[in-house]
Each structure stands twice: as C-alpha cells, then as structure tokens.
Chains A and B, each alone.
Chain A
C-alpha cells in the first residue's frame, strides 16, 4: 500500500535537510505507529506525503498502491486515497464545515469517476458519523475549525476521515490535547474504519492512544530517519525509558 523508500527532504527556502532517508512500508489492513523525539521529522513526513508546499524532495520515492504520490497535486493524492489528520488543524473563517466536507467528498468522488452525493444523502451521512463522534449539529454549521477547542478540532479531523473513507490514513498527534473520553472516541473512530483494505500510520508521543488502537508495527524516528522498528512492545519501552537508550543503541 504505502511504500516509502530512501525519502530525503530539505526545506525549499534554506539548505536544511529534514528527512535524511526514510524507509517505511505500510501494508493494507495494518496499523503502524511512529514515535520519536520532538523535531525528528514526523510531521514533515506527513506534510511531504500530502503535498504541502515549502519542501523539496532531494531523493527517494513515495508511492500509494503504485501511484507516485510525489508527482501528484495535493487534491490528487486525496482522491487517490491519502488522508492526513493534521497535528494543527487549520481554521477557515467563512467556509462552513458542512459545505467544506461535502465539496471535498464530491470532488474526490468526481475525480474517481464516481457519482456525486446529493445534499440530502450527505446530510444523512454526516449526521450519522457526527453522532458517533459526539459532534453536535452546531459544530457542523460553524466555519471550519473556527472557535473549536483543541479537542473539537481533532475530533473534526476524525469526522472528515470517517466521511471521506480514505485508503491510507495518517494521523499526526491526533491524541494530543484530547481528554480521556475524547481519546476513546477518536480511537473508536479509527477502529471502526479498520479493515483489510485500509492502512494507518499513527504518529504519537504516548502509549495511551496505542492502548486503544493496537498497532501492528511501531517505528522510532530520530533526526530524519526511522532508526528502529518493532512490535507493540517498542512503544511500551519508550513510555517507560524515553528515547535515550534506543538512540544510544543505534548510534
């Protein structure tokens, strides 16, 4: 499914290498977690995969089901099935949450040659999904993320994921800023989407989310590289001892 090979990325504006050769392979049906110290390049990886400006790929490749992601526009990557739940969801004053989501869903469907969803169908769909995430109708009507609390913004990301049903979901610290109950809701949202055809890459600092979303594989990222890969136990080890031992071991 998602195949990243030797990915090297620098900032466009300055000569600063951020990703220094990332190798990562996520199979359909599996959940991978990435942990790693602040500034190690986790968000950068997610931005580069989703097509944000400001980065220059200097080497390597990234494909989704064989399609060269790095060659596509951001909207084409979305239509190809890639989704990023942002570490810092963006506020868009003046654009209604519902309008935004329906436009996005229909744009993706159109790009894939599928039929667009009618207003009535969409309403039904979003109401059902919002309910399971405890997002009230008022939040749906408000402009995208404007005036949302930190936790509400994160739940809104998961709502978008639930509506768009992407093949490959990247979650960048969706757990940070969530209270215990909201964390459970988010985890349930993720688990509800888990199936044979879908892959997850969950970026997190804490074991707590992983308690709810049992990952198949855990990676440690440091200084722009995946430095260690293991099973769920690796996350527990980080939780207990921090990164010092692991970094010393690979150095």
Chain B
C-alpha cells in the first residue's frame, strides 16, 4: 500500500473512533490521532515491522481467559491496583490516593493537571525518527491509566494488576509517571489486561531520580500485547526496566528511552519464553543526547517449538554525547529446530569519544555440557533447566533488587516448567 492510500485508510479508521471527551488531555488526544493519520497504520512492509506482522494487531481482538496465576510479587509490600478489562476495580484494590496515585478516568475531567505536560508528550517525541502509530492510537483512545507523581525517595512500590473481563477484548491503558528530583519509585505490572492489551507508559525522570519497572506479561496462549514505554531521563537519573514474557500469541514491547541529562543510566532487559504459536518482539530505541551516560540492553529468549523471537535494538549517540557507554546483547536459546530468532542490532553514532558494543547470538543447548551434567547423575530435564537458567543469568542480573529478582525467578521457573 502506498503512503497516501495508507493515510486514507488511517483517516477512515480514525473517523470511526470516538475519543474520550474534554479535560486537559483533550488536545493531546486530538494531536495523537492526527499523528496516527499522518504515519498510517503499521503494515508488514514497514521496515520497523519486518519481523513481526502487525496484521493480527489490527484485526479483531481475540477473546481470552483470565490469567489465573497469582501475582509474582505477592511476597512484597506494595500498593495493589486492580484493573478488570481496563476498568479500575476499587473493591479489589488498595486505596490509590493513599499512595499518591490518580486515575486518568477521574483526573481527566479537570482543565489543569501536572500530567498535562507529560501525557502524549514523550510519546510524540518518540515518533521520530520511527513512527509508532499504535502508541499514538493509545494516547488518543486510552480511557484509563494511572498518573503517579513521585516526590520522595523510597516510595512504596505500586503494582498494576490486570485481569480480563469477558466484555472487553481490547483494552487501552495509558500511564504517566513523573519523578521529581531525587525521588524513586518501583512500578510493577502483572497479568493480562484483555485479548489485546495496548499499554503506554510515559516516564519523566528528573535529576537524580530513580525509576524501576518490572512486569510479567500474562500467558494466555491467544492474548496479544502491544506495549510502549517512553522514558526521558534528566541528569544523573536512573531507569531500569525488566519484562518477563512467558507465552501469549503476540507481544510487541517497545521501549523508547532518551538520555537527556549528563551521567544518566538506562537499563532495559527482558526474558521471553514460549512455544508453538508464540511470537515475541522486543524493540528498543535508546538515544544518548548528553555526556557520560550509560545504557544497557540485555535480552534473552528461550524458544521452543515454532516460537519466533524478535529483537530490534538501536543505540543512537547524538553529536556531543561524548563518553557514552552503550551495551547491547540479544541472545536466543533454540530448544527445538523449528524455533526462530530474528535480531537487528543497530548503532548510529555521531560523537567520537564513545564506547558502544553490541552482540547477538542464537544457538541450541550445549550438548557436551548437557552430557557432562547427566554423567554426574543430573536428570536430563533438570540439567536442561540448569543450562537454561545459566543462559538467562545475565538478564536476571539486571534486576538489582534481590527480592524482585527472586519474585521474577519464581515466575520464570514456572514458565520454564510449562515449556518442557
């Protein structure tokens, strides 16, 4: 399809939508819809969608069962906020106000709000140089989400727990987090929001603030996820994001991170695993736009029968971003011959005093190591498990907090057991 035709199609699509009305977010929604029409809907021939066919994401959303697995973070002290089919469930949740959390649906009606500066703004910045139409769609449509303004260090972690509601097969959630200078916050996300969950998280991290983000995506075999994380980091700010994907039909997780102040640090990591009919895609774009910033991308995928794993990762170092330290690794362990891993690592560097490395590998389990373990009495399945864990170790090490790492490891072990 040529672009004008695509634009027409996008326009026709947009005309059929009705946006949540009024309030401070109104102009941002209208502008986002215009961005969507401008870029057109994604399709297979887009360079950015070469490895993951977006067609299923534009077709009717699947209906799925609720995720019955308990939250991986059950053992942690946190504020729990439950969303059913994208609607906030006050009964099942802790008091959001006590945690300083507001809901988009409630705060959206007023004319002024601190979130106005951020809502749709980081998403819009993230549309260049690559268009992300499904994020623009989210900004335009999302009726719900959380607005969190962290003002102090060591705020209690907030967990967003998603559940399926039979009536809602497609759900849009848009979260905005702003961290004031020196503040720190951990945001957790768990479960399946709907047959298709489209979430956007915009995070503005001021000077010296720290943001931790951990999520485990639900495992219903039919569910789809389109997620975008847009983060902007000020001076000496820290950003950590880790995603565990076990199963699901299609997951496209995009992270767009901008290191805008000196000495910032951004780490994005993930573990994905699955089998037949699973397609999982991590697409990361990190921009270094200030001196002495560090970034790491660590992605590991354990692929069983027929699963496709995708990694597209880019480090862009702008002119003047001297002393940049960028690292990127993506690796796949192919447990069956028919699994496939597609990786596109990219570096684009306009500064001369930088250190950037990237690597990508895919391979089967080490047969010699497997035999060695078995020759010592370790049963095959257990030996494989040890080797898989060893393979994943570098990604897990990115979770700095031991309690969170433990929580994710527990979920991961369950996921691996199901894969056997």
Quick one: given A100-B376, A104-B378, are A95 and B386 in contact (CB under 8 Å)? yes
Contact with A along B376-420 (1 / 0, CB 8 A): 111110110011011101000000000000000000000000000
A142 to B367, CA, bound (A): 21
Given contacts A73-B379, A95-B389, 17 further A-B contacts (CB under 8 A): A50-B375, A52-B371, A73-B380, A75-B375, A75-B376, A75-B379, A84-B375, A89-B372, A91-B369, A92-B372, A94-B390, A95-B373, A101-B376, A103-B378, A107-B377, A108-B377, A164-B376
Asked whether A90 lies within 8 Å of B369 as measured between CB atoms, the reply is yes
* Residues on the A chain within 8 Å of B6, using CB: none
Distance in Å: Cβ of B65 to nearest Cβ of chain A: 35
Q: Quick check: is B374 within 8 A (CB to CB) of the other chain? A: yes
Identity of the chain A residue whose Cβ is nearest the Cβ of B383 in the assembled complex: A75
Distance in Å: Cβ of A127 to nearest Cβ of chain B: 19
Distance in Å: Cβ of A102 to nearest Cβ of chain B: 10
Asked whether B386 lies within 8 Å of A74 as measured between CB atoms, the reply is no
A109 to B390, CA, bound (A): 24
Quick one: given A53-B367, A73-B380, A90-B369, are A95 and B390 in contact (CB under 8 Å)? yes
Q: How many residues of B contact A (CB 8 A)?
A: 22
A164 to B379, CA, bound (A): 15
| Chain B residues close to A by CB (< 8 Å) | 366-369, 371-380, 382-383, 386-387, 389-391, 393
25 contacts between A and B (CB under 8 A): A51-B374, A52-B371, A53-B371, A75-B376, A78-B375, A78-B376, A79-B377, A90-B368, A91-B369, A92-B366, A92-B373, A92-B387, A92-B390, A93-B390, A94-B393, A95-B389, A99-B386, A100-B373, A103-B382, A104-B377, A104-B378, A105-B377, A107-B379, A143-B390, A144-B372
* Residues on the B chain within 8 Å of A53, using CB: 367, 371
Identity of the chain A residue whose Cβ is nearest the Cβ of B376 in the assembled complex: A104
Please pick, from B369, B378, B391, the residue contacting A107 in the complex, using a CB distance under 8 A. B378
* Residues on the A chain within 8 Å of B391, using CB: 94
- Which 8 pairs from chain A and chain B are nearest by CB? A94-B390, A78-B377, A108-B377, A74-B374, A104-B376, A90-B372, A75-B374, A92-B369
Query: In A36-91, which residues have CB < 8 Å from any B CB?
Result: 50-53, 73-75, 77-79, 84, 86, 89-91
Q: How many residues of A contact B (CB 8 A)?
A: 32
Q: Quick check: is A111 within 8 A (CB to CB) of the other chain? A: yes
Identity of the chain A residue whose Cβ is nearest the Cβ of B389 in the assembled complex: A94
Quick one: given A92-B387, A95-B390, are A73 and B374 in contact (CB under 8 Å)? yes
Q: Quick check: is A160 within 8 A (CB to CB) of the other chain? A: yes
* Residues on the B chain within 8 Å of A73, using CB: 374, 379-380
Quick one: given A78-B375, A111-B377, are A100 and B368 in contact (CB under 8 Å)? no
* Residues on the A chain within 8 Å of B377, using CB: 75, 78-79, 104-105, 107-108, 111, 164
Distance in Å: Cβ of B141 to nearest Cβ of chain A: 43
* Residues on the B chain within 8 Å of A75, using CB: 374-380, 383
A143 to B372, CA, bound (A): 14
Distance in Å: Cβ of B298 to nearest Cβ of chain A: 14
* Residues on the A chain within 8 Å of B386, using CB: 95, 99-100, 103
Distance in Å: Cβ of A36 to nearest Cβ of chain B: 22
Distance in Å: Cβ of A240 to nearest Cβ of chain B: 35
Asked whether A74 lies within 8 Å of B367 as measured between CB atoms, the reply is no
Distance in Å: Cβ of B222 to nearest Cβ of chain A: 33
Identity of the chain A residue whose Cβ is nearest the Cβ of B385 in the assembled complex: A103
A86 to B371, CA, bound (A): 11
Asked whether B368 lies within 8 Å of A160 as measured between CB atoms, the reply is no
A99 to B389, CA, bound (A): 12
Asked whether B373 lies within 8 Å of A104 as measured between CB atoms, the reply is yes
Distance in Å: Cβ of A167 to nearest Cβ of chain B: 13
A242 to B70, CA, bound (A): 69
Identity of the chain B residue whose Cβ is nearest the Cβ of A52 in the assembled complex: B371
* Residues on the B chain within 8 Å of A107, using CB: 377-379, 382
A75 to B386, CA, bound (A): 15
Distance in Å: Cβ of B412 to nearest Cβ of chain A: 14
* Residues on the A chain within 8 Å of B380, using CB: 73, 75
Identity of the chain B residue whose Cβ is nearest the Cβ of A105 in the assembled complex: B377
Q: Considering residues B369, B372, B373, B393, which has the most beta carbons from chain A within 10 angstroms of its beta carbon?
A: B372
* Residues on the B chain within 8 Å of A74, using CB: 371, 374-375
A80 to B391, CA, bound (A): 30
A113 to B371, CA, bound (A): 23
Distance in Å: Cβ of B323 to nearest Cβ of chain A: 30
Identity of the chain B residue whose Cβ is nearest the Cβ of A143 in the assembled complex: B390
* Residues on the A chain within 8 Å of B371, using CB: 51-53, 74, 90
A13 to B379, CA, bound (A): 25
* Residues on the B chain within 8 Å of A51, using CB: 371, 374-375
A101 to B393, CA, bound (A): 19
A144 to B376, CA, bound (A): 13
* Residues on the A chain within 8 Å of B378, using CB: 75, 100, 103-104, 107
* Residues on the A chain within 8 Å of B368, using CB: 90
Identity of the chain A residue whose Cβ is nearest the Cβ of B371 in the assembled complex: A52
Q: Considering residues B367, B378, B393, which has the most beta carbons from chain A within 10 angstroms of its beta carbon?
A: B378
* Residues on the B chain within 8 Å of A104, using CB: 373, 376-378
* Residues on the A chain within 8 Å of B383, using CB: 75
